[in-house]
Amino acid sequence: MDTMIEPEKSSLRRAAPRLMQILRVLARRKFLMALFGKGHWPPPKQVRETFEELGLTFLKFGQVLAMRRDLLPDAYIKELELLHDHLPPMGFDTVRATVEAELGAPLTELFSSFSKTPLAAATIAQVHKATMHGGRHVAVKVQRPGLKAMISKDIAALTYLVALGDKLSSRLRALDLPVVVHEFANTLNREIDFTREARSIILIRGALADVPDLWIPDVVAEYSRKTVLTMEYSAGERVDLYAKLHAEAMPRVINTLVKLMLQSIFEEGVFHADPHPGNIFVLPDGRLSLLDFGMTGDLDDPMRESLILLLEAVVKGDARAATEAYLEMAPASEEVNRAALLVDIKTTLYEVGKSDLANVSIGDAFESLLHAGTRNGVHNPGEFFLLTRAFVLLESLVSLLAPDHNYMESFREEISRLTAKHFSPGRIRQKTTKLMRELERLVEDAPGDTRRILRRIAEGNLGRLPSLEALGGRLSRNLGRLTGAIAFAALVIGGSMLLMTPMSSWHDILGEAMLISGIVGMLITGIGALRRDNSQG
């Protein structure tokens, strides 16, 4: 992908001019004295002003650090949250040139009208209202020119600076900033690639197609490229302004917000990570409109499975289950102090448990998990930070729209619905079928793979090893037994899930049948294996 920012491939010579500019600013702001351990860190306000002075990339980096409550004191977090990303708008000639270069035609051929005044201007892009020749009203998002080169230099300079700080300061070393910078570069890669944003919109539209009272503008694919994104125009009012005049509509609005957040996470694994009031509008007919998908998170299937278990454990106050689910979401590491982590999570969930359900905050609970994980050696995945940010912003928005509304009741109802759907017979059958296909492929490939490995060993310096060939034969036979055992275990697990999920009576009957079939099958497989082993002994 030609928009990738790869700081590790950037030479020090290329980054040196920008690095010197940054060092001069840091020296004037008295950061360098603290870096060498000869002074205190500048106050929070000065830190924020420093990021603003260093420009676009550092504005974005400061916003990323504002999400890292597990690394920085609250005073710095609050100040970094004030970082704004509004810049003076680009001139119209620049906008015209960018659109025409990307779409390959003059602006007058592409649109019957194109507003010269932007609807909004931010660090990455600005948005203009336009009308297509067929009369369709659209919003055109146009990226600022030269972003890739500028960000690449800044990331390269930031990478060297962080590496230097890691060597000189134990205080900086404790923040694990090289990992933060790497994740930050990945975030910027995604944000400056509008083709990715278009894919996210399409996925989220599909996942939320059946959510009532919600409209997400469609992508105009033929007028969208890497630096130009054209979408349907959303004519509405910001949700916070709408709430002041329509307080009676807020319970319905909040239920829709909760549904769209949870359903997009669990159905497609793609979620909007920036649900602040400026990105949520209310249309004239009362439906919600979700905008700006530049910051989205992606969860793969295993992470979604673990997240479901984590959310259930947090709501129920089950610290052990929460710890296991949390560790499944994080990259494996031998540095994790599991015992201490369990104690910290127990403390977190105790605070959740003694609170009234209406006052429980999923965002705060996730932030506490991040704190506990960082203290005990967990390398938190970047998507978990985005997810935490999304819940924190959502809960803040709910408090703004309707301070007395029981947000957690809506949350619990939607989690119950999604959990029941997740453990439905159809979903279990689908997963079991997928497991069986993978096992069938494994069984088919294993004997040939075993023979090829043994042949290579036999043709090498070790000579022929008949005992290994015999071992290969036994492995192939045992693999067949293992396949059967795993298939029967899947029936046991599926049946148990159905029995544990409170649904209709026929679910219980199906669950019992699956459970009994699985247990009987495992017994038959085990007895058969014992007989074969005894006959060969």
Among candidates 386, 420, 398, which has minimal Cα distance to 308? 420
* Spatial CA neighbour of 168 closest among 70, 31, 10, 71: 31
C-beta separation of 353 from 317 below 8 A = yes
CA atoms of 104 and 224, how far apart (whole Å): 11
Give the long-range contacts of residues 359-363, CB within 8 A, separation 24 or more: 359/408, 360/315, 360/408, 361/395, 362/311, 362/314, 362/391, 362/395, 362/411, 363/388, 363/391, 363/392, 363/393, 363/394, 363/395, 363/396
d(CA 342, CA 324): 9
Count helices and strands in the chain by DSSP H and E runs: 22, 11
Active site residue 364: no
Q: Max Cα separation, the chain?
A: 86
Helix axes 147-168, 177-191, angle to 10 degrees: 170
Structure tokens at 255: 């239920």
Query: Please, what's the b/e burial string for 149-159 (b: 16 or more CB within 10 A of its CB; e: otherwise)?
Result: eebbbbbbbbb
Nearest to 3 by CA among 201, 298, 297, 226: 226
Name which of 146, 143, 148, 147 is nearest 102 in CA terms.
143
Q: Are the beta carbons of 280 and 290 closer than 8 angstroms?
A: yes
Cα-Cα end-to-end distance for the chain: 59
Q: Contact at 8 Å (CB) between 59 and 90?
A: no
- Catalytic one of 70, 154, 193, 274: 274
Report how far apart, in Å, the C-alpha atoms of 362 and of each of 60, 128, 289, 330, 406 are: 25, 36, 24, 18, 13
Element (H, E) at 465: none
Among 167, 156, 207, 214, CA closest to 15: 156
3-state secondary structure of 228: strand
What is the rounded CA–CA span in Å between residue 511 and residue 496? Answer: 6
Question: What is the Cα 318 distance to its own chain's centre?
Answer: 24
- Alpha carbon 221 to its chain centroid, in Å, reads 24
Ordered DSSP codes for 26-85: HHHTTHHHHHTTSSPPPPHHHHHHHHHHH-HHHHHHHHHHTT-TTTS-HHHHHHHTT---
Give the integer Cα–Cα distance in Å for 480 and 444: 10
Enzyme catalytic residues:
274
